[in-house]
Amino acid sequence: MKLKAIYPGTFDPVTNGHVDIIRRAAKIFPDTIVAVASNKAKRPFLPLETRIQLVEESVADLSGVRVLGFDNLLIDFVLEQNAGIILRGLRAVSDFEYEFQLAGMNRKLSKQIETLFLTPSENFMYISSTLVREIANLNGDISQFVPSCVVRELQKRQDEHGTSSII
């Protein structure tokens, strides 16, 4: 396995916290793949292609970072990409239990894949895609929580729907 890391998520939408993790991962791993999950079980607000595009725009200045969509089991995707590391972000202790279970299950599915946890910078510890969607849905200002391309995309969706609500 190469020193290649995969940072999976739905990124619905990508936040400044996600971008912080990606930037820091790119300094550690020469090949970092941001894996955008289709994850129909979560019923994403933004279509997969839009989420991929927004992540690409958000990290366009980083070398060694690629953004790919996937719709299969994460472990299978990691193996297909010949990667050896899954990166996960931890914002709070409440994230740890779920992430710990995922890491254990992934290890059971493939002993050759390691899971590493990164915490975001303290400025981004409280940001989540869910909270961003809720704020945007109530016509709040999300510009301090997400890249500017996300602000534009969500504003465009509000304009298209002729309402302040996007969801």
Cα dihedral 162, 39, 35, 12 sign: positive
Q: Determine whether the annotation assigns residue 118 to a binding site.
A: no
Q: Is 91 a catalytic residue?
A: yes
Query: Is residue 145 marked as binding?
Result: no
What distance in Å separates the CA atoms of residue 165 and residue 154, rounded to the nearest whole number? 10
- From the list 2, 27, 42, 156, the catalytic residue is 42
Q: Does 157 carry a binding-site annotation?
A: no
- 160 among annotated binding-site residues: no
In Å, what is the CA distance from 73 to each residue of 15, 64, 109, 137, 145? 24, 24, 10, 31, 29
Catalytic residue among 18, 51, 58, 133: 18
Is 129 annotated as belonging to a binding site?
yes
Q: Using CA atoms, how far apart are residues 59 and 93, in angstroms rounded to an integer?
A: 27
Does residue 18 have a known ligand-binding role? yes
Query: Terminus-to-terminus CA distance in the chain, angstroms?
Result: 41
- Check the annotation: does 51 bind a ligand: no
Task: Copy the structure tokens of residue 12.
Answer: 């619905």
- How far CA 117 is from CA of 25, 28, 86, 90, 92, in Å, comes to 10, 13, 8, 6, 12
Give catalytic status of residue 18 as yes or no.
Answer: yes
For residue 101, what is the enclosing H or E element? helix 93-109
* 99 among annotated binding-site residues: yes
Q: Does 129 qualify as catalytic in the annotation?
A: yes
124 is in an annotated binding site: yes
| 128 appears as a binding residue in the annotation | yes
Q: Which of 91, 107, 110, 157 is catalytic?
A: 91
Known binding-site residues for ATP equal 10-11, 18, 89-91, 99, 124-130
Known binding-site residues equal 10-11, 18, 42, 74, 88-91, 99, 124-130
Q: Catalytic residue positions?
A: 18, 42, 91, 129
Known binding-site residues for substrate equal 10, 42, 74, 88
